[in-house]
Amino acid sequence: MPSVHVIGSGVSGLACAYYLQKVGCDVTLSTASSGCDENCCSWWAGGMLAPFCEQESAEPLIGTLGKESMAFWRQLASVTKLDYCANGSLVVAPARDQALKRSFERLTRNHQRLDHAQLIALEPDLDHFQQGLFYPDEAHIQPRLATKVLWHELGRMNVILNTEHYLDEASLVNARNEYDWQIDCRGLAAQSELDDLRGVKGEMLHIYSDEVRLSRPVRLLHPRYPLYIVPRPEQQFMVGATMIEANTSRNATVRSVLELLSAAYVVHPAFAEAEIVEIGVDIRPAFNDNLPKIRRYGNQLYVNGLYRHGYLAAPALARRVSDIITNDYFCTEVVDANYP
Ligand SMILES: Cc1cc2nc3c(=O)[nH]c(=O)nc-3n(C[C@H](O)[C@H](O)[C@H](O)COP(=O)(O)OP(=O)(O)OC[C@H]3O[C@@H](n4cnc5c(N)ncnc54)[C@H](O)[C@@H]3O)c2cc1C
């Protein structure tokens, strides 16, 4: 079986290494980070697996990749300590913004309309919303735990793991000659070679409140500050996320934090007393159409452009990468036709 060098330990690199080792390739993974840490976009994600809600703004391909990836995470959770929460997700809007809810409902599928009684039967703390939309087939995971679990599995499967191994331009070329295949999963760092890759800044917070109980992700539709809240263990909540066209990952702005927290307060007034545990920022790698791509240049594949769908798309992309390498099978839906 071929030797494969995977670069990057974000969700895309980890998923590729996992699939390739599973099908018998001889995999080495090199990463600039210590393995799983805050130095990658994947660390800051919400971990929402929401292929149906995403239809509001995404192409159908995201739904296809998403459903396949969800099966992967569910299976991984059944044999590891990954927590796969398959209790759906909710969408709510303040009374004056019901037009937004109707529009969201029209654009998405696989939902149920909830009246007040049905809504509070699912989430009693959303008592002040009169209606909602329920997406029963959606799920969420803890992204940091997911990357740690994958990292641990790679070690167990004898993947060679090179940590704190930053590859500059020359070493990228040299490494490419050492292996049968090289899979570049550097996220936004590959921008110098993928010149149509752009950055979309995302800011998020972790807050702690022992007064709010939520058991599934909640999206708030709002004309200025749409947001989602994902419950985490021990009464923490991930509040996210801004979407700003920007290539740098400087700190979060006051405006963004104010807006995110104002919207959280709309979801539940008790969030006013929540403690801010962490404020995070990273840049999502995205192509112009906001769809992920696999590009091939000789024996090198780039897996990139995961945008806001890293956890939703990475396992499905990784499976396609392993098909390309082991069966020479090119799945045209994600392989960019402009790049032979
Ligand atoms: C606030 C926020 C919320 C999000 N929420 C969600 C969500 O709910 N659901 C979802 O599916 N997605 C979400 N996303 C999107 C998701 O996080 C990204 O799509 C995904 O993390 C991209 O993963 P990646 O592996 O391509 O890149 P990254 O995670 O950035 O990984 C890149 C890796 O490459 C390594 N690297 C870079 N350069 C080099 C080099 N020269 N040599 C060696 N190693 C190198 C880095 O160390 C890193 O390990 C969110 C993103 C943000 C910012």
Domain ranges of the chain: 3-80+141-196+288-327, 89-136+198-286
Tokens standing for 147? 């990357």
111-158 pLDDT, tens digit per residue, is: 999 999 999 999 999 999 999 999 999 999 999 999 999 999 999 999
Centre of ligand 1 to C-alpha 333, Å, is 22
Indicate the class that CATH gives domain 3-80+141-196+288-327.
Answer: alpha beta
Residue showing tokens 């895309």: 12
Judge if the beta carbon of residue 171 lies within 6 A of ligand 1.
no
Q: What is the mean pLDDT of the chain?
A: 94
Please state at what angle helix 310-327 crosses helix 143-156, rounded to 10 degrees.
30
Q: What's the whole-number mean pLDDT along residues 249-276?
A: 95
Q: What is residue 225's predicted lDDT score, i.e. its pLDDT?
A: 82
Q: What is residue 297's predicted lDDT score, i.e. its pLDDT?
A: 87
CA distances in angstroms from 46 to 29, 50, 52, 216, 231, listed in the order given: 25, 11, 16, 12, 9
pLDDT over 60 (residue 339): no
Indicate the class that CATH gives domain 89-136+198-286.
Answer: alpha beta
Q: In one letter, which amino acid is 169?
A: E
Confidence class for position 333, pLDDT limits 50, 70, 90: low
* Residue minimizing CA distance to atom 31 of ligand 1: 10
Judge if the beta carbon of residue 317 lies within 6 A of ligand 1.
no
Q: What's the whole-number mean pLDDT along residues 284-297?
A: 94
Please state at what angle helix 60-79 crosses helix 143-156, rounded to 10 degrees.
60
Judge if the beta carbon of residue 271 lies within 6 A of ligand 1.
no
* Residue minimizing CA distance to atom 20 of ligand 1: 310
pTM of the entire structure? 0.96
Judge if the beta carbon of residue 242 lies within 6 A of ligand 1.
no
Q: What is residue 331's predicted lDDT score, i.e. its pLDDT?
A: 60
Q: What's the whole-number mean pLDDT along residues 228-235?
A: 98
The 8 Å CB, 24+ separation contacts for 94-99 are 94/129, 94/222, 94/266, 95/130, 97/221, 97/222, 97/223, 98/131
Q: What is residue 340's predicted lDDT score, i.e. its pLDDT?
A: 37
Q: What's the whole-number mean pLDDT along residues 42-65?
A: 96
Q: What is residue 271's predicted lDDT score, i.e. its pLDDT?
A: 97
